[in-house]
Structure 1
Amino acid sequence: MKQTYSLKEKSKQLLVIFLPILVTQLALSSMMFFDTVMSGNASAFDLAGVAIGASIWSPISTGITGILLAVTPIVSHFLGGGQKDKVPFAVIQGVYLAIGISLFVIVSGFFALQPILNRMDLEPVVRDIAKGYLCALAFGITPMFVYTVLRCFVDALGQTRMTMIITLISLPINVTFNYLLIFGKFGFPRLGGVGAGVASAITYWCILLIAIYVLHRVEPFVEFGVLKRLYHLSLSAWREQLKLGVPIGLSIFIETSIFAAVTLLMSQFNTTTIAAHQTALNFATVLYMLPLSISMALTITVGYEVGAKRFRDARQYGLLGVGTAVGLAFVSGIGLLLFNEQVARLYTNDQAVFELAKQFLIYAIFFQLSDAIATPVQGVLRGYKDVNFAFIVAVCSYWLIGLPLGHFLASYTSFAAFGYWIGLITGLACGATGLFIRLLRVQRASCRGDAELVCKT
């Protein structure tokens, strides 16, 4: 990261940080994409089982990842304020926190998984695949969360290209083990959807080991000495990270759990509907990587400028990022409208699933527009360390508006399963509106708070 003096320089710096993050996020989401696509080509039961398993795991993993994302603004503020010596301690405390949380999740899952699955109206074979997928994935939870902390440190330095390289190296590992274990190639057992979980766990360990090597051997990471000294566990440092990270994690959990809840509610419909819904939701998740990557880049750039008390620059980064996200949303929406059939065919050879998935994908277009505003705005607010309001907005828009409306439309109108998607779109739109209003107020307050700042609002 470096200080910029014009909109052109800011655009260039944001692009340099954003593009590697986008490639990284696409590669990471591709793991779930390949899990879903390759499982779907094994059988509709494997696709449905992985869909249910992913729906249970996704809100948990993304919520906890959100807690750990607090490391990014913390490190960005230290760097912007010229306090590099405090960075290693913050990162190590984040690693400790990641390990502690991962162990808690594993133990909780051991007792809670079977009762959750038993309460769902699933075909026995789908239930068994979902359980096996999650049990296999559990072996990769700890390395995944620890890597998240290390990645936050690397990204906060503006070195997003390095996390891109690490992820690109690991992606072929995931695809290869998926091929070997899902389909039972070259003497490996044919595990179907469960094999996707095993492949993901192996991949997470590889990512962590590569990241550790980079921090020990590659500049500029070596000069920070991260992982060279094991500090004593600090409850005060944990408290600071949790104070910032818990609202972030809860906001992400609320948002992702609403999609998981809808998928679980879809269990009232047949396997074909579940598979088609998961197809559209999975592809929508891939497109979501655009605003998400912009959001993460904005947290880094805005956090750096706020740490240096350059609030006018922070405001410019925010507006630039949100505008870019909206433009990309229109482009991706047009692309999905034109290539609807080709996308659906990627996921399944089942004609019934294919026809229904095409219809679900149309609704996914409208997701992009709301996400293009809400997600980058959340990234900007995290750069300001303003995280509590986003949690409140998430609860109201998704659980008090989106899900009740979706349930009503699905249960009492002819929209049926599509009613849930209409509810989700409505909730996302309400959330985007509330967050954008909050951003404008935070930016104005920051400008007024600096007596030497000339800022037009």
Structure 2
Amino acid sequence: MSRSKFFHESKLLSKLAGPIIVGQVGQNVITLVDTLMVGALGSIALGASAFAGSVFVVFLIFGLGMLAPVTALFARMQGQENYPEGGVLLRHSVFIALGVSALIIGLLYLLLPNLHWFGQTPEILTLGASFFEIITWSVLPSLLYQTYKQFTDGIGKTKVAMFVMLFGVLFNIAGNYVLIHGHYGFPKLGLNGAAYATLMARTLMALIMIAYVHWHSQFKHYLTERWTHRFDHHLLKNMLRLGLPNGLTFVFEVGAFASAAIMMGWFGAAPLAAHQITISLASTSFMITLGIGIASSIRVAYELGRGDYSLARFAGFTAIKLGSYYMGLCALGFFFLRHWFPTLYVTDQDVITWAAQLLIVVAIFEVFDGIQAIAIGALRGMSDTQWPSVIAFFSYWIMGLPIGYLLAFHGGAGPVGIWIGLLLGLICASILLTLRFHILTKRFLKS
């Protein structure tokens, strides 16, 4: 009975997660394609994109994190069969996306003339600053796309965002090809060409998602309320209450890796380029786990909406198991192919050697990275975002980064020490987040 129940739940999760995973991998492929194509310009250009992207993504990920809990609200609404509430949630989500985008873009422009604070080399700063300014404008379309993706994913229409993302990937590849190297009469823009291609791809993706949701008949019974209707300040406050700590959770985790990239830059261009390659590979595998985490959020929230607390708990732990199995396979791949993977990006032997060393640490932390990502998703399905934020801050900023800094600069471990610190942070986060989900679901069952 238990085994058949496990396979049944795994099937439900896979059906939801499949298109989400394709979309998530596609989103990461945009960064991967940029890294591969920029890698042909040399280690300085690759390091500049790593630096600028690492700083930028901390702000972008906060906005994405602010919107992420809404997926669970849509799923819970679906479980309750309260369809008009979906349109109300969407309207308020768009309002939040616009406001957060304006805030983030303003902050990024304030930071632009002060990028030297991060202690990078002059060559990396010169190239990175213009790249940084261009991708700053991709915040708005990114958050609008994410808003509509949360809606379609939450109601179980996960293929919509998947197809739009695949279009974005293909457009970005073509844009990189013509703008980086100046093909078909376009100017040769180098690193900036990759930034412009990403900006245009994200803008088109947002426009397509908006048009599809508002014009397709399958969404009409959700969008029954006029968009000029007054806002529900209580709902808006509740969405912000859930979104703010979740945004901080995203920032604490991604910010830790961005800070690691900045510290890596203090060792020079080669270790920084190796870090960018390593994080690109690790992120690609992580996107699949993140897709499972989003599916777990939807499943947990849907069952809570139906009032089946036992199945909500089972769905969460089934997702954690699936993610662990998958990341275990990825760990083996990264370890045994650690000398080959970097050659897909660069021919610089110094960079390849550093990346191979970092991939040993990645192979160890893969399973823990998957567990913490899915546990966060399951907790988000329960609208629990405050404690995960505290856990993330403690794991990455009290434990991970300080230990990594001490090992790298005072313990003789060098660049590898930074990644060992990240590993310890992920171990801590995976244990505490899983324990939190266990405690909360037990509490629901007893109530």
Q: Which residue of 2 aligns with 1:427?
A: 425
Mapping of 1:48-197 within 5 angstroms?
A: 48-115=47-114, 117-197=115-195
* 8 Å CA contact 2:45, 2:127 repeated in 1: yes
- Aligned AA for 2:21? L
Q: Which residue of 1 aligns with 2:205?
A: 207
Residue 227 of structure 1 and its aligned partner are, at CA, apart by 9.2
- Aligned AA for 1:325? G
1: CA distance, partners of 2:334 / 2:141: 35
- Aligned AA for 2:10? S
Q: Which stretch has the larger CA shift, 252-261 or 206-215?
A: 206-215
RMSD: 1.6
CA 194–234 in structure 1, closer or farther in 2 if over 3 Å, else same: farther
Residue 181 of structure 1 and its aligned partner are, at CA, apart by 1.4
What is the TM-score with the length of structure 2 in the denominator? 0.96
Residue 228 of structure 1 and its aligned partner are, at CA, apart by 6.4
Deviations 1:224-260 (A, max 9, x none): 2279634334433321111111111111110010011
1: CA distance, partners of 2:251 / 2:350: 32
2:36 equivalent to 1:23:
no
Q: Which among 352, 375, 394 is matched to residue 350 of structure 2?
A: 352
- Aligned AA for 1:63? F
Runs (4 or more) in structure 1 with deviation over 6 Å come to: none
2:276 equivalent to 1:284:
no
Question: In structure 2, the residue corresponding to 1:42 is in which secondary structure?
Answer: coil
Q: Which residue of 1 aligns with 2:445?
A: 447
Residue 185 of structure 1 and its aligned partner are, at CA, apart by 1.7
Q: Which among 371, 380, 383 is matched to residue 382 of structure 1?
A: 380
Q: Which residue of 2 aligns with 1:454?
A: none
Q: Which residue of 2 aligns with 1:321?
A: 319
Mapping of 1:11-50 within 5 angstroms?
A: 11-50=10-49
- Aligned AA for 1:334? L
* 8 Å CA contact 2:43, 2:270 repeated in 1: yes
Mapping of 1:255-334 within 5 angstroms?
A: 255-334=253-332
Question: In structure 1, the residue corresponding to 2:221 is in which secondary structure?
Answer: helix
2: CA distance, partners of 1:278 / 1:231: 46
- Aligned AA for 1:279? I
* 8 Å CA contact 2:86, 2:223 repeated in 1: no
Deviations 1:252-297 (A, max 9, x none): 1100100111111122111111111111111111111122111100
Residue 9 of structure 1 and its aligned partner are, at CA, apart by 3.3
Q: Which residue of 2 aligns with 1:248?
A: 246
1: CA distance, partners of 2:230 / 2:366: 44
- Aligned AA for 1:348? V
* 8 Å CA contact 1:92, 1:231 repeated in 2: no
Residue 221 of structure 1 and its aligned partner are, at CA, apart by 2.1
1: CA distance, partners of 2:64 / 2:154: 16
2: CA distance, partners of 1:237 / 1:188: 48
2: CA distance, partners of 1:23 / 1:435: 26
Deviations 1:128-157 (A, max 9, x none): 221111211122211110111100000001
* 8 Å CA contact 1:42, 1:182 repeated in 2: no
Deviations 1:424-449 (A, max 9, x none): 10111011111111111011001011
Q: Which residue of 1 aligns with 2:408?
A: 410
2: CA distance, partners of 1:290 / 1:269: 31
* 8 Å CA contact 1:215, 1:226 repeated in 2: no
Q: Which residue of 2 aligns with 1:229?
A: 227
- Aligned AA for 2:305? G
Q: Which residue of 2 aligns with 1:455?
A: none
- Aligned AA for 1:35? D
2: CA distance, partners of 1:40 / 1:227: 49
2: CA distance, partners of 1:314 / 1:245: 21
- Aligned AA for 1:269? F
- Aligned AA for 1:100? G
Q: Which residue of 1 aligns with 2:216?
A: 218
Residue 162 of structure 1 and its aligned partner are, at CA, apart by 1.5
2: CA distance, partners of 1:175 / 1:223: 37
2: CA distance, partners of 1:233 / 1:225: 15
- Aligned AA for 1:94? S
Query: Unpaired segments of 5 or more residues in structure 1?
Result: 450-457
- Aligned AA for 1:180? V
CA 386–120 in structure 1, closer or farther in 2 if over 3 Å, else same: closer
Percent identity, aligned pairs only, is 27
Question: In structure 1, the residue corresponding to 2:407 is in which secondary structure?
Answer: helix
CA 77–272 in structure 1, closer or farther in 2 if over 3 Å, else same: same
Question: In structure 2, the residue corresponding to 1:340 is in which secondary structure?
Answer: coil
* 8 Å CA contact 1:326, 1:373 repeated in 2: yes
Deviations 1:314-337 (A, max 9, x none): 111111101100100111111122
2: CA distance, partners of 1:63 / 1:221: 28
1: CA distance, partners of 2:181 / 2:347: 16
2: CA distance, partners of 1:119 / 1:278: 20
Residue 48 of structure 1 and its aligned partner are, at CA, apart by 0.6
* 8 Å CA contact 2:58, 2:251 repeated in 1: yes
Question: In structure 1, the residue corresponding to 2:213 is in which secondary structure?
Answer: helix
Query: Unpaired segments of 5 or more residues in structure 2?
Result: none
Q: Aligned residues, how many?
A: 444
